[in-house]
């Protein structure tokens, strides 16, 4: 009976682990220390130039130096009328 219970519990653990997937609320930052903390799927751990906590960001190929929606770091949108230049809204 004990061996049966061990296999049953092991089976449940394997089933749970196989169905586990990290998902992020893209409206809130998820802080990290390295890329592996971000769960894959194109997410990377970004280290802000101005310091502060690093966070997960989906790499969609934009240039942090010129993209006004992601100026300097992921999700940093420039205010209306400002452009991103060298990673700074001006």
Tokens 């394997």 belong to residue = 14
In the chain the beta strands, taken as DSSP E runs, fall at: 43-46, 55-58, 84-85, 88-89
Contact 75, 30 (CB under 8 A): no
Domain count, the chain: 1
Cβ atoms of residues 54 and 32 within 8 Å: yes
9 part of a folded domain: no
Domain range enclosing 71: 25-89
Domain membership of residue 4 (yes or no) is no
Q: Which residue has the higher pLDDT, 72 or 84?
A: 84
Is 0.85 surpassed by the pTM of this model?
A: no
| Predicted confidence (pLDDT) per residue in 16-71, tens digit | 555 555 565 555 567 888 888 888 777 888 777 667 788 888 767 778 889 998 88
Q: Is residue 78 part of a domain?
A: yes
Would residue 13 count as lying in a domain?
no
């Amino acid at each position: 009976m004990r061996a049966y219970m061990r296999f049953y519990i092991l089976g449940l653990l394997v089933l749970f682990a196989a169905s586990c997937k990290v998902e992020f609320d893209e409206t809130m930052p998820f802080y990290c220390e390295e890329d592996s903390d971000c769960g894959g799927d194109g997410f990377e751990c970004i280290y802000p130039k101005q310091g502060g906590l690093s966070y997960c960001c989906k790499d969609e190929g934009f240039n942090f130096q010129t993209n006004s929606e992601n100026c300097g770091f992921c999700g940093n949108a420039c205010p209306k009328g400002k452009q991103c230049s060298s990673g700074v809204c001006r």
